[in-house]
């Protein structure tokens, strides 16, 4: 299934049903009086957070949604049927914006609902307007109109902790190692094209980790892929910054490139708690790079771990530290 995290759609509620103008006509009842029924209420358009959905793909292909109208009233005081609400299911973590970019709703809990367009009120039949001085009203009130809105849906994944870093820093391998996720792993840049989520079990508790596509220099200006998905880190409690110490590059410079792009995103990612993780320490000649990265992290007051997701070295200690960041104190760090 394709991962789509943005969509623009047009939603329209149902209009109310017309009130009826009718008069009771029966043999031997010369003054039956008005008996026009009310119309039915127009249906609402409702967004509902559904935990079984993880993409806005459906709204990428179908852009217009219309709720049913209310049914007109009839004679003999019979009211029209109201429209059934149109419920549009979206992933948990979906934000709803209006055309001006104002947040209208934020669906962060499974089953949470948000009415985006209210249905029109029903028209009243002429049965309501009979008075001693107006015994044969020949009018009914008009129903409420439908409401149409253009809205933008934006998905921000709900994860406790985000994995960030340059391409091929080992993020996908890491999430596969510490969780039940099955992220694609390969030895070429930009293997990860979409965010991956994994559930990590620590004792009797668990937390969710998100693996972000790799960032490169200039990402904040649209270079590469990762910047498209940085919004999914905005709800995380902390970030794990992975640096490949086996690569032919200065590990401190690699750390600073990603750090700069996080700050340039402009949503406060640079202020989140960060743990620095040196990856691929099972590769030869990584000691100098690992020590340089560790010295930089310690000079910044950041926690540091050196691990190999392939062999498992250092993974257990890292998981406990990640859990402490995501959940609070849970055990040995």
- Per-residue pLDDT tens over the stretch 84-141: 999 999 999 999 999 999 999 999 999 999 999 999 999 999 999 988 888 889 999 9
Question: What proportion of the chain, given as a percentage, has pLDDT over 90?
Answer: 62
Q: List, in order of start, the domains of the chain with CATH numbers.
A: 6-155 (2.70.210.12), 161-327 (3.40.50.300)
Task: Give ∠ CA 324-326-332 in degrees, rounded to 5.
Answer: 15
* C-beta separation of 238 from 275 below 8 A: yes
Q: What is the pLDDT of residue 219?
A: 44
**Separation of alpha carbons 274 and 228, rounded Å:** 21
Q: Stretch 211-226: mean pLDDT, rounded?
A: 60
Summarised one tens digit per residue, pLDDT across range 221-235 is 454 555 667 788 888
β-bridge pairing 6-12 and 64-66: parallel
**Separation of alpha carbons 90 and 97, rounded Å:** 14
Q: Stretch 318-333: mean pLDDT, rounded?
A: 80
**Separation of alpha carbons 178 and 314, rounded Å:** 12
**Separation of alpha carbons 140 and 19, rounded Å:** 5
Distance from the Cα of residue 239 to its chain's centroid: 19
């Amino acid at each position: 299934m394709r991962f789509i995290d943005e969509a623009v759609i047009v939603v329209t509620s149902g209009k109310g049903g017309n009130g009826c103008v009718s008069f009771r006509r029966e043999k031997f009842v010369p003054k039956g009086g008005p008996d026009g029924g009310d119309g039915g209420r127009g249906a609402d358009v409702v967004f509902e957070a559904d935990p079984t959905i993880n993409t806005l793909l459906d709204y990428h292909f179908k852009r217009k949604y219309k709720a049913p109208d209310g049914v007109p009233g009839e004679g003999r005081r019979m009211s029209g049927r109201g429209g059934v609400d149109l419920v549009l299911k979206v992933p948990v973590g979906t934000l709803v914006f209006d055309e001006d970019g104002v947040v209208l709703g934020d669906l962060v809990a499974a089953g949470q609902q948000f009415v985006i367009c209210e249905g029109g009120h029903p028209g009243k039949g002429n049965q309501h307007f009979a008075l001693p001085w107006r015994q044969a009203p020949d009018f009914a009130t008009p129903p409420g109109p439908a409401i149409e809105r253009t809205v933008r849906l934006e998905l921000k994944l709900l994860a406790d902790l985000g994995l960030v870093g340059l391409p091929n820093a080992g993020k996908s391998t890491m999430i596969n190692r510490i969780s039940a996720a099955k992220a694609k792993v390969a030895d070429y840049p930009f293997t990860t094209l979409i965010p991956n989520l994994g559930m990590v079990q620590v004792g009797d508790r668990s937390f969710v980790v998100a693996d972000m596509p790799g960032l490169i220099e200039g990402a904040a200006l649209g270079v590469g892929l990762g910047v498209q998905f940085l919004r999914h880190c905005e709800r995380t409690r902390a970030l794990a910054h992975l640096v490949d110490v086996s690569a032919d590059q200065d590990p401190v410079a690699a750390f600073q490139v990603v750090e700069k792009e996080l700050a340039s995103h402009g949503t406060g990612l640079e202020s989140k708690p960060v743990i620095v993780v040196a990856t691929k320490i099972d590769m030869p000649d990584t000691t100098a790079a690992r020590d340089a990265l560790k010295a930089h992290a310690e000079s910044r007051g950041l926690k540091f771990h050196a691990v190999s997701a392939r062999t498992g070295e250092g993974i257990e200690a890292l998981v406990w530290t990640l859990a402490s960041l995501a959940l609070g104190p849970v055990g040995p760090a």
